[in-house]
Structure 1
């Protein structure tokens, strides 16, 4: 059975379905899962929405705005979890969440479960949770509607942030990428020609950089080459080409897609050692372990470190630094799925709507992603369509 997301006819209704919006507090997470406009729409659609006080404040939305939109305020994470069937988060589940999670609850967030503590996986199973990851929601054609928006933001930010860390006062190599007459422009290498990589290419070409794109997908690189009329260079992704490009780059942006699994380490420590003095690496794959061997997660409060005289920027939630834009994008992209869940009920929505089915890591405590089962030595039980 296929469900048309443009069809607003109510097929079924989930009695008592309600949503809880958590106030994220860890790792400078400023984003919020739903905006006041999103809450207003969902309340009109029939949801009861609970908001933990302060959830939207870092993105410029007050509790009062959410209450006017129809949300009911609660004043602790414990109360929020206790009242909600479906918890909307931004950051992945952490150990601190576990005592509050209710049996049979559903959790929507960026999950990145391959990087999570095994205690979190154990709790998901024991409490029979349904866990949906924004990062793996995908339609039948391979499009990832939620990732698309955030990947574009991350790609632009990677270039802007890297330029900042090239400057003297931030410990960089004291170079302006654009160049001036008589002084050549700098070089930016983008590993990966997917959504994030393409956004980074757009930003990098816009500032006048010499841009190199590396990927194994020749069609993706052909499309980028056609779009920029030969103003970029494209390299096929092999060890020789990656090592060559890394060696001459002023900025290296890692945008290697891993689709929920661990990112491949395509840049070795030896390659990093070959880079120019105080060149910059922005590893955007760090939320899946990183694509550069020397990368390790950093935070917005302490975003960079220097290793082998190369500046590393490895913030998993970098788009939290433009939280209002990112929160709007996330809230907008979730509306049609939340409508469908209200119409059909979560269980039926997960087996009839490809995006939601593909986005599930766990269904009522059962692992429905093979690579997660393999990593944590679990039984793999795929979701079956009607």
Structure 2
């Protein structure tokens, strides 16, 4: 199979979907790999390394989209790429369809096979491709939050960990999954007072066992969210529902009641955001203020640390990409249920219920 790796064109996206070691593996399996010129430059991987691994470097995306049977990307196709897609192509990337009707309609119209990184789920109920990027985003959320709490950044002027005699910042994390857990680890390590809210009591028990004493776990409900959001200096939105649009668990009224100069990092923005006042931003223009509260809603947070993120991502995507390339998507899906869960649409038909429900559209489940 011809495997294509186009250069990412989303604003401030520096990751690449395949490293040279992955090219070598593809070639060992008998596949041809096309890499767009400078696709790896943002991650510190020059074209020469891809050439040495056996890839063919092409000048632009047109040749890749025209020839590749399997497109491996990092982020969803953007409007200027829509017309390049062929109806016999399998696209393997982060899609987050429930956050965008435009993207959903475009991919249905292109009649591609869309396999979404974020909905691949293994036999243990884990999301192996989403996990490393959630780890990065969770850790970065505290790094960015600490920065924007500084007064020159128009924050409250609070040091996350405080100093002897002065209280540390109040960090509130809504969602105790991979993002929330990694955010809590970093915030706790810096000495903040951390509260994690989640609806799963079993998860809260686990977090209570593994976290240090400056982390408190609380059952998430309307009342506890209302109380803790008002107390927060830094609020991390880490709500995830697989494949679905994130619910607005923090209302506009709650944001309005927050402390002036408080910071919201809505990591759920890829799925539409879990804070009602959130809207997508970029690394070039990452924040805006509403009700005197700083909102950081970058849709590709891990892209800022592209070298780390690219290697972490390809560590987990490569085995699935090889399986799809070796067998074709149909046989790969028959033999691996995780890939079935990753397939969101097939040649103009939605196959993911959560995406269909987000827009009130019909779907056909893959049997």
Query: In structure 2, how many angstroms separate the alpha carbons of the residues matched to 1:318 and 1:374?
Result: 27
Q: 2:88 aligns with which of 94, 98, 104?
A: 104
Deviation at 1:263, TM superposition (A): 0.2
Per-residue deviation, 1:98? 1.1
Shift of 1:345: 2.5
- Aligned to 1:285, what secondary structure does the other structure show? helix
Q: How many angstroms apart in 2 are the aligned matches of 1:267 and 1:123?
A: 30
> In structure 1, what is the Cα distance between the partners aligned to 2:7 and 2:193?
42
Please state how far the C-alpha of 1:339 moved relative to its aligned partner: 2.6
Q: 1:84 aligns with which of 58, 68, 80?
A: 68
How far 1:116 sits from its partner (Å)? 2.5
Distance 1:310 1:127 in 2: 40
Write the mapping of 1:42-57 to structure 2, written as runs, cut at 5 A: 42-57=26-41
Superposed, 1:254-273 pairs within 5 Å as: 254-273=237-256
CA deviation string 1:150-198 (max 9, x = no partner): 1111100000000000111111111101111111111100100011111
In the other structure, the counterpart of 1:316 is 299
1:223 aligns with 2:206: yes
Q: 1:45 to 1:333 in 2, by over 3 A?
A: same
Identify the range of structure 1 (126-135 vs 51-60) with the bigger mean alpha-carbon deviation: 126-135
Q: CA deviation at 1:373?
A: 2.6
Residues 178, 137 of structure 1: CA spacing in aligned structure 2 closer, same or farther, 3 A cutoff?
same
The answer to whether the aligner puts 1:27 opposite 2:14 as a matched pair is no
User: Cα offset for 1:77?
Assistant: 1.3
Distance 1:247 1:144 in 2: 32
1:235 pairs with 2:199: no
TM-score, with structure 1 as normaliser: 0.92
Contact 1:247-1:271 at 8 Å conserved across structures: yes
Q: Residue 225 of structure 1 contacts residue 231 of structure 1 at CA under 8 Å; is this kept in 2? A: no
Distance 2:225 2:80 in 1: 40
The answer as to whether partners of 2:188 and 2:212 remain within 8 angstroms in 1 is no
SS of the equivalent of 1:277 reads coil
Q: Which runs of 4+ in 1 moved over 4 A?
A: none
Stretches of structure 2 lacking an aligned partner (at least 5 in a row): none
1:208 to 191, 196, 200: 191
* Structure 1: runs of 5+ lacking an equivalent: 1-16
Deviation at 1:122, TM superposition (A): 3.9
> Superposition pairs for residues 1-386 of structure 1, below 5 Å?
17-118=1-102, 120-384=103-367
Q: Which moved more, 1:372-381 or 1:331-340?
A: 372-381
TM-score (norm 2): 0.97
- Separation of aligned partners in 1, 2:347 and 2:334: 13
What is the CA–CA distance in structure 1 between the aligned matches of 2:94 and 2:196, rounded to whole Å?
A: 27
RMSD over aligned CA atoms reads: 1.3
Taking the aligned partners of 1:137 and 1:198, their CA distance within structure 2 comes to 20
Q: Distance in 2 between matches of 1:317 and 1:307?
A: 21
Retained in 2: the 8 A contact 1:102–1:127? Answer: yes
Give secondary structure in 1 for the equivalent of 2:264: strand
Three-state SS of the structure 2 residue aligned to 1:345 is helix
Specify the SS of the correspondent of 1:214: strand
The alpha-carbon distance between structure 1 residues 377 and 246, as it changes in their structure 2 partners (threshold 3 A), is closer
Structure 1 residue 253 displacement after superposition: 0.2
Aligned residues: 367
